[in-house]
Structure 1
Amino acid sequence: MEPVEINAGAYYLRQLRADRHLDDRPALMEAFADPEHRRYVLNYRLRTTDEATEYITLRAAQWACDERCSWAVAEPTTGRLLGEVGLRDLDTTFGTAEASVWTHPAERGGGIAVTALSAAIRFGFGALELNEIAYRHLESNTASAIVAERCGFSRVGLEDRPSPTGEPLVRWVRTS
């Protein structure tokens, strides 16, 4: 699938970039260096420009293989990276996906995650014709619980398996 840009009102969602016009790598490295971000985003470490480049390349490949729709949440006039939102584990046969979102540490608390995730959900149910979108987070991540509630997810409960850290994962679901 080709990447799609989305007007999310106060922000726009676009593909992550590292080109002569726009370079998201410095903001990615800043975000992934933040201790709170590292606590909740366990699968990636972006310590160098090369690792950030690989991350951007991975996200583009996931779009191309229909595995994941991933957007940079961007400030509309400058294109500055504010966070990332996505629909991963896409299964268009069964109409399911799992949502994910993070916000740059300097931008937390301003409603960016709710706005961006709401736009991604609309895309999932509308353009991709999904039936169900799940959302999971560590039980201690109260900010993610607030985002889930504000985006219309219903709390299902704790996952049977703990996270890689051993902490329980909370599962939420939203249907079309």
Structure 2
Amino acid sequence: MEPMEINAGGWYLRALRDDERVDDRPALADGGITDPAYVRMRRSQWLSDSAYSWAVCQPNTGEMLAEVIVTPLDTTASLTGWAREGHMDALDTASAAVTRFTEGALGLAVIEGRGA
């Protein structure tokens, strides 16, 4: 599946990026993720339908504040995520929106709550 964008009220959810226009790697490093291949891995997971991840962003600046990840299992899916310091509200709102997407669009029941 191609990455899907989600409007989560005050937050904008999109695929992770590391291109000439947007680079999420500094925000990922704030979350303890320093693997230079991380964004490429997440992109590959979307295309193989093995996991789906969203950068939770400030809509007017595009700054990444959190990440939500859905991992399909069978008829269920695991939902996890993490937030940069001070942005748990963005993670909570985004997790609810991604849960609705997972259950409605993918037909998978979310079996785990938010966690890192």
Whether TM-score is above 0.5 comes out as yes
- Structure 1 runs not aligned, ≥5 long: 33-44, 138-143, 145-176
TM-score by length of 2: 0.91
Letter in 1 for 2:23: D
Q: Is 1:113 aligned to residue 91 of structure 2? A: yes
Contact 1:68 1:86 in 2 (8 A): yes
| Aligned pair partner of 2:104 in 123, 126, 129 | 126
Deviation at 1:11, TM superposition (A): 0.3
In the alignment, the residues of structure 1 paired with residue 30 and residue 113 of structure 2 have an alpha-carbon distance, to the nearest angstrom, of 25
Percent of aligned positions with the same letter in both sequences? 42
In the alignment, the residues of structure 2 paired with residue 25 and residue 121 of structure 1 have an alpha-carbon distance, to the nearest angstrom, of 25
TM-score by length of 1: 0.61
| Aligned pair partner of 1:95 in 71, 75, 78 | 75
Residue correspondence of structure 1 range 1-176 to structure 2 within 5 A: 1-32=1-32, 45-46=33-34, 51=35, 53-88=36-71, 90-91=72-73, 94-105=74-85, 107-109=86-88, 111-135=89-113, 137=115
Contact 2:45 2:52 in 1 (8 A): yes
SS at match of 1:86: strand
- Structure 2 runs not aligned, ≥5 long: none
May I ask how many residue pairs the two structures share in their alignment? Answer: 116
Deviation at 1:132, TM superposition (A): 4.1
The superposition leaves residues 96-127 of structure 1 with CA deviations (integer Å, 9 ceiling, x where unpaired) of 1100011012x334x11210100110100111
Deviation at 1:136, TM superposition (A): 6.9
The superposition leaves residues 51-103 of structure 1 with CA deviations (integer Å, 9 ceiling, x where unpaired) of 2x300011011111101110000010110000100111x13xx4211000110
The superposition leaves residues 9-45 of structure 1 with CA deviations (integer Å, 9 ceiling, x where unpaired) of 100110000111111011111221xxxxxxxxxxxx5
Please provide the CA RMSD for this pair.
Answer: 1.7
Structure number, greater radius of gyration? 1
**Highest relative contact order (Cα 8 Å, sep 6+), 1 or 2?**
2
